[in-house]
Each structure stands twice: as C-alpha cells, then as structure tokens.
Amino acid sequence: MVIISDIDALIETYDVRNDEILDTHFKPIRQRLWQDIRNYGADINKYGMIVAQHLERTSQIGADFLKTLGFSDKAAQNFYYANLLHDLGKTHRNYDPNVWQTPHRPTPQEREEKRGHTRLGVELVDLFLLKSPNELQEHPHVHIIHSLQQLHHERVDGTGYEGLKGNQMGRITKAICIIDAYDGDMIYRPHQDHQRTPEEELKRLKKSEKYQGAFDEEILDQFIDFTLSRD
Ligand SMILES: [Fe+2]
Ligand SMILES: [Fe+2]
C-alpha cells in the first residue's frame, strides 16, 4: 500500500456525498468502524468517547479550514468523512489505550507505543476492505483515509512519526498535523495541572520549544487567524 503524502489534488476528484461506489460498499464499513470507535474503551476512562469527540472536532475544524485555504466544498466534505477515521488505530486490539492516560509524562517506551496507532489504523481499514470490490479498494477516498491515518503526526522538520519533511507534504497533510496537535493538546491528561485554552494552545504551537520548526509557518499563521476569527 502506497501512502500518498500530497492529497491536495486527489481530494478534489470525487464527492463523498454523491458517489455510488462509496454509498454501496463503503458506507456500511464506515458506520461499523465509527461504532467501534465509540464503543472502544468505553469503560477505560471514557477514552473511546474522548477519541470520538476529537475525531469529530478535528474533522469539522479541518473541513472549515480547508475552505479558507481555497479548497472546494466537495473537498471539505471528503476531508470531513475521511478524517473521522484518522485515529482508528487506537481501537486495534494490539493497542493499549491506557498509554494516553498515564498519570505521569509518557516515558520513551510509552511514547513509542502511542506512535503505533497510525499504521494500525491503515491495517484495520485494509482488513475491512479485503472482501470489497477493486473499485472501492482503489477509490481516492480510501487513499485519502490511509494518508490522513498514517501522516497526521508529521513535522515539517522531519521529526514526525514517518520522518517526512515539509517539501514532501501537501497543504492538507501539513494542515491536519497542526489541527491534530491543536485539538489533541487541549484534551486534558491526568499528568497536567490544568486544561489548556485555545489561546494558550495557539501560542504554544507558534512559540514553544517543543514545536519550534515543527509546522509550516504560513499554514500555521493562517490557522491561527482562522481560529481567532471563529470565536
Ligand atoms: Fe493520532
Ligand atoms: Fe488525532
């Protein structure tokens, strides 16, 4: 499976709201996977619900942000539905959700375990597609889902999970990495003393040592303007 790291053109080639192959063959799979996300870990610190809400928020924020970047309504909708599955790998039976809720800062080994969810997500989608017709397996929407799953933790300086550099990523990939960090960092973790506000988090993305050189400057500035103008 080849993961496409620039999905900017591909996302404009279909319309998830009006696509016979997706309607017939993918809708039931998507509904099943979404149910799995909601059910997942329901009794482990309600983590399944936290993940589901993060997926819904990042999808909505991303769809709206893409439009401000000049993408079409159609592309925004395609992004919305594909991105709902970006953290699906966390529901994989080989993945321990407790690793996100440690009472301490994650150790290097725990950090490594957390990373596994990107590829496990791709694996899960592939598993569900095994018996699907070729037109679905090769559908652009499936490529977009895979790409968002595997590449939402990249950093333009090459320090992300797959080590891609900025010039290897399209604008949507750069954008989801920012949006995922923005929303994910505002989820309260037991080792933190308080939950971050949007203003604090935007400042952190722009100025903190942790994120120096991590994001595309231009897209980050556009995202900050977009977020401040929303509230
Ligand atoms: Fe993730
Ligand atoms: Fe995420």
Q: 7-11, 88-92, 146-150, 174-178: which range is least confident on average? A: 88-92
Mean pLDDT value across residues 50-77: 96
Q: What's the rounded Cα separation, in Å, for the pair 85 and 78?
A: 12
Tell me how far the alpha carbon of residue 185 lies from the centroid of ligand 2, in angstroms: 10
Tell me how far the alpha carbon of residue 54 lies from the centroid of ligand 2, in angstroms: 7
Strand partners, 165: 157
Q: Global pTM?
A: 0.94
Q: What is the pLDDT of residue 136?
A: 97
Q: Residue 204: how many CB atoms within 10 A of its CB? A: 17
Q: What is the pLDDT of residues 189-230, one digit of tens each?
A: 777 788 899 999 999 999 999 999 999 999 999 999 999 998
Encoding tokens for residue 25? 């063959």
User: Is residue 69 pLDDT above 60, yes or no?
Assistant: yes
Cα separation values, 37 from 98, 135, 183, Å: 15, 26, 18
Tell me how far the alpha carbon of residue 55 lies from the centroid of ligand 2, in angstroms: 7
Tell me how far the alpha carbon of residue 133 lies from the centroid of ligand 1, in angstroms: 28
Q: What is the pLDDT of residue 141?
A: 98
Name the H helices within 69-194.
Answer: 73-83, 108-115, 117-129, 134-137, 140-151, 171-185
Q: What is the pLDDT of residue 231?
A: 65
Closest listed ligand to the CA of 185: 2
Closest listed ligand to the CA of 149: 1
Tell me how far the alpha carbon of residue 193 lies from the centroid of ligand 1, in angstroms: 22
Mean pLDDT value across residues 168-179: 98
Tell me how far the alpha carbon of residue 179 lies from the centroid of ligand 2, in angstroms: 9
- Alpha carbon dihedral 185, 186, 190, 194, in 10-degree steps, equals 120
Q: What's the rounded Cα separation, in Å, for the pair 162 and 190?
A: 28
Closest listed ligand to the CA of 100: 1
Q: Which residue has the higher pLDDT, 87 or 94?
A: 87
Mean pLDDT value across residues 176-180: 98
Q: What's the rounded Cα separation, in Å, for the pair 53 and 138?
A: 29
Q: 44-53, 103-112, 128-137, 172-181: which range is least confident on average? A: 44-53
Q: What is the pLDDT of residues 121-149, one digit of tens each?
A: 999 999 999 999 999 999 999 999 999 99
Closest listed ligand to the CA of 54: 2
Tell me how far the alpha carbon of residue 117 lies from the centroid of ligand 1, in angstroms: 7
Q: What is the pLDDT of residue 185?
A: 93
Q: What is the pLDDT of residues 30-47, one digit of tens each?
A: 999 998 888 876 655 567
Tell me how far the alpha carbon of residue 202 lies from the centroid of ligand 1, in angstroms: 19
Average pLDDT, the chain: 92
Task: For residue 198, give the nearest of 211, 183, 188 by alpha carbon.
Answer: 183
Q: Residue written as tokens 């968002």?
A: 148
Q: What's the rounded Cα separation, in Å, for the pair 116 and 211?
A: 21
Q: Residue written as tokens 């996977």?
A: 33
Closest listed ligand to the CA of 150: 1
Cα separation values, 159 from 155, 163, 199, Å: 5, 5, 25
User: Is residue 176 pLDDT above 60, yes or no?
Assistant: yes
What the chain holds in terms of domains, given with CATH numbers, is 10-230 (1.10.3210.10)
Tell me how far the alpha carbon of residue 153 lies from the centroid of ligand 1, in angstroms: 6
